[in-house]
Amino acid sequence: MSGCATLILAGGSGARMGSDVPKQYLDLCGLPVLRRTVTVFLDHPLVDNVQVVIGEEDKNNYEAAVTGLDLPDPVIGGITRQASSRKGLEGLASTNPDIVLIHDAARALIDAATIDAVISALDLNHAVLPGIPVADTLKRVLGDTAIVSDTIDRTTLWRAQTPQGFRFDKILDAHRQFENEDLTDDAAVAERAGTDVAMVRGNENNFKITTQDDLERAKTMMSSSMGDTRIGTGFDVHAFGDGDCLTLCGIEIDHEQGLEGHSDADVAMHAITDALLGAIAAGDIGNHFPPSDEKWRGAASYVFLEHAAKLISDRNGSIANIDLTIICETPKIGPHRVRMQESLASLLSIEVSRISVKATTTEKLGFTGRNEGIAAQAVAAVRLP
């Protein structure tokens, strides 16, 4: 048996969002909703592994959203939420965890304290969910006329949230036994199987991002908690040398010369990496990847960039924007600009619109003017909680 597993249900469509892209893949302050949700659980000390359940048609969205995270292949869900949940549980069966948390991908503002409360209550219960007592007066409205038929006593009513926690064997059995019922949450499946389900108090902020208004509300909340804006700058130079191509922003460009360097000499990516490290005062690229270390000879520079990005995400930060200037007489940057932006956006899991790639010459002056090498400078803004 192995501790606590988490199942994240990301099979929903974007129907109520009015978007072609399902809500869990939309941007929430620089990172996809799903990535934010998954990261909270991956970072939680009591969670041992995270399994995501996705829609068949969302494989590409999924891969883009979770690039670089330590996750097993996704499980493909079913037609209903209940079916998706069961498939996810079956996918975890071989690892046989003691307990499982089942969470909606669209609840990206889940906090560690709610996860703690659910796990802790599982010591004494087989099934636990977080919820909020209903504060508003509830009205029943019948028909199309929107006429109120009666007022419902709310004193015993709670709004159900996730993550819902279960003894793994209990909830898997319950799902297998009541597989065709289309129940709307896993607690209902446990109830159906006769298991007592305990309620713990959830967090009002742990709402499900369902509509465009919800997404805006989540962005506002997230932004207000990310008020520490940092700026970093980076500068780098590499000399031309033998070769017939060079790499800039991860894009290989045919050229009459290559660039000299210990790694792949991607001068542009080095400048950006230093800007990101500078923004969080985490030293420079040479501290993290010493040129004296043979390990980095010929290394692809995306390793450096992803390391800087991980240091930022480890601090729950996000990259607000990057502005790169490449300074050279040759090669021409313009034809490659869009691919460079896309390459960086994909490596950093941020929107292309947050990355600017510019180029200039020094009017034939200085070493870049004499076409002896390429210089690059970058500015990055990073937001931290």
Q: Tell me which residues touch Mg ion (CB under 5 A).
A: 236, 270
In the complex, minimum distance from the CB of residue 284 to Mg ion, in angstroms, rounded to a whole number: 10
Q: How far apart are CA 356 and CA 378, in angstroms?
A: 10
Burial of 63 (0-12, 13-18, 19+ CB in 10 A): exposed
Q: What is the DSSP string of 354-367?
A: GEEEEEE--TT-HH
In the complex, minimum distance from the CB of residue 285 to Mg ion, in angstroms, rounded to a whole number: 7
Nearer to Mg ion, 193 or 253 (CB): 253
Burial of 22 (0-12, 13-18, 19+ CB in 10 A): buried
Nearer to Mg ion, 185 or 264 (CB): 264
- Joined tokens for residue 58: 């969302």
Q: How far apart are CA 53 and CA 202, in angstroms?
A: 23
Nearer to Mg ion, 168 or 304 (CB): 304
Nearer to Mg ion, 166 or 296 (CB): 296
Which of the 8 DSSP states describes residue 155?
A: T
In the complex, minimum distance from the CB of residue 336 to Mg ion, in angstroms, rounded to a whole number: 19
Nearer to Mg ion, 185 or 236 (CB): 236
- Joined tokens for residue 376: 């690059």
In the complex, minimum distance from the CB of residue 301 to Mg ion, in angstroms, rounded to a whole number: 8
In the complex, minimum distance from the CB of residue 348 to Mg ion, in angstroms, rounded to a whole number: 18
Closest by CA position to 336, among listed 259, 245, 243:
245
Q: How far apart are CA 383 and CA 164, in angstroms?
A: 31
Residue whose beta carbon is closest to Mg ion = 270
The secondary structure of the chain in percent helix, strand, coil, rounded to multiples of 5, reads 35, 30, 35
Nearer to Mg ion, 158 or 367 (CB): 367
In the complex, minimum distance from the CB of residue 266 to Mg ion, in angstroms, rounded to a whole number: 8
